[in-house]
Chains A and B, each alone.
Chain A
């Protein structure tokens, strides 16, 4: 009984301390000040588990069709490259300024520290975005077909040279006809 009381007291103190800390305003919220390891771990774990759970039933279509690269390239360049970079570029104002730093999608899976790299997970993240991370929900304004095309392009991105990237991402009138 005494142990139960002690546990209850510790729990109450912990909850009050957490709320007290949140209300105190002592946590540095500036993006130029990195999260502590514990906070970073908690946020990353929350993100990975949430995305894995939400995307587990998504059926991935065939993504090796060149037409998908043609459709996804220009969208990636205009919507994603400023944060997630492009071949030949290792940083940008946004990649440096955001915290946590957005993953560099020009390098292979795993090398940029993200574990949520499956196509179904990428699709989900692009479509729904991530709260308080700077990642918008593109699904509000872009249909699934366009999002899958972006996923297909991102799959190929680590292999692309700056020259290939330039051609694939240039938006032309014929490109418009093919992507619709």
Chain B
């Protein structure tokens, strides 16, 4: 019984440590993205195929609709329901095994 209590307490403490690394914890300290500046820029001069631009517009999608931005939403809109390629199982998929290859020692 004692062993079970120790194991359960340890598991609880470990789960609390993991929770401390939850990205939501950092959100409180983070500054909001400067989407107003992005909305006011000339989008015609931007390369909308650039992953950086796509990511910026995806980040600012909600905020820019508030600023009344009506620029080519089809280009900016990313299907965020689609799962990232690394999430699809063949690229680690959130597991901690590096495909079981990275640490042969």
A interface residues (Cβ-Cβ under 8 A, vs B): 54-55, 57-59, 61-62, 64-71, 73-75, 77-78, 120, 123-124, 127-128, 139, 141-145, 148-149, 156, 159-160, 163-164, 166-168, 170-180
Contact = CB atoms under 8 A, between A and B. Distances in A.
Contacts of A67: 55, 58, 78, 80, 82, 84
Given A156-B51, A170-B32, A144 B97 contact: yes
A95 to B, nearest CB: 21
Contact of B104 (A57, A59, A143): A57
Contacts of A149: 84, 86
Contact of A66 (B26, B51, B103): B51
A160 B26 CA distance: 22
Interface of B: 17-18, 21, 23-24, 26-27, 30-35, 37-38, 51-52, 54-56, 58-62, 78, 80, 82, 84-87, 90-99, 101-105
A64 B50 CA distance: 9
A124 B31 CA distance: 30
Given A61-B91, A167-B34, A128 B23 contact: no
B31 to A, nearest CB: 6
A176 B52 contact: no
Given A68-B86, A141-B17, A168-B52, A74 B26 contact: yes
